[in-house]
């Protein structure tokens, strides 16, 4: 493995699609991913993996099955524990940095038209 450094915002220039996480780094069996989000995603959970969202730009809303919604703004972090169903959505374009195990699928156990199976590095 090599020493790696990058500017988070500059990396987003390489992302054109929404809901399509791209890998920017790996460490300790985890991936750091960047994604642009807009609109609604699917309800899903990750049976064995916790997931961290850091909002780089915009405001991310996260619905939970108890009816609550977390509002995560730029500079804020949300950790969703394994097994907790969640549904991300946004009103505008949102940039997030994700931290999760390499095995994590972004739609969890739900196969969906938006499920990306071949992760691309940027």
Interface residue list for a copy of itself (CB under 8 A): 1-9, 24-25, 27-28, 30, 32, 49-52, 54, 64, 70, 72-73, 75-82, 84, 99-101
Residue 62 CB, nearest approach to a copy of itself (Å): 8
- Closer to a copy of itself by CB, 13 or 113: give it: 13
- Closer to a copy of itself by CB, 73 or 91: give it: 73
Residue 36 CB, nearest approach to a copy of itself (Å): 17
Q: What's the CA gap between 102 and 45, in Å, rounded?
A: 16
- Closer to a copy of itself by CB, 46 or 113: give it: 46
Burial class of residue 10 in the structure, from the number of CB atoms within 10 Å of its CB (0-12 exposed, 13-18 middle, 19+ buried): exposed
Q: What's the CA gap between 90 and 117, in Å, rounded?
A: 23
- Do 44 and 109 form a contact (C-beta atoms < 8 A)? yes
């Amino acid at each position: 493995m090599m020493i790696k450094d990058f500017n988070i915002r500059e990396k987003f220039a390489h992302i054109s699609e929404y809901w399509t996480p791209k890998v920017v780094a790996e460490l300790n069996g985890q991936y750091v991913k960047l994604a642009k989000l807009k609109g609604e995603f699917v309800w899903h959970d990750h049976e064995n993996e916790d997931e961290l969202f850091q909002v780089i730009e915009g405001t991310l809303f996260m619905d939970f099955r108890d009816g609550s919604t977390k509002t995560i703004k730029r500079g804020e972090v949300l950790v969703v524990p394994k097994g907790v169903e969640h549904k991300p959505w946004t009103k505008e374009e949102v940039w997030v940095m994700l931290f999760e195990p390499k095995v994590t699928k972004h739609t969890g156990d739900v196969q969906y038209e938006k499920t990306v199976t071949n992760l691309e590095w940027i």
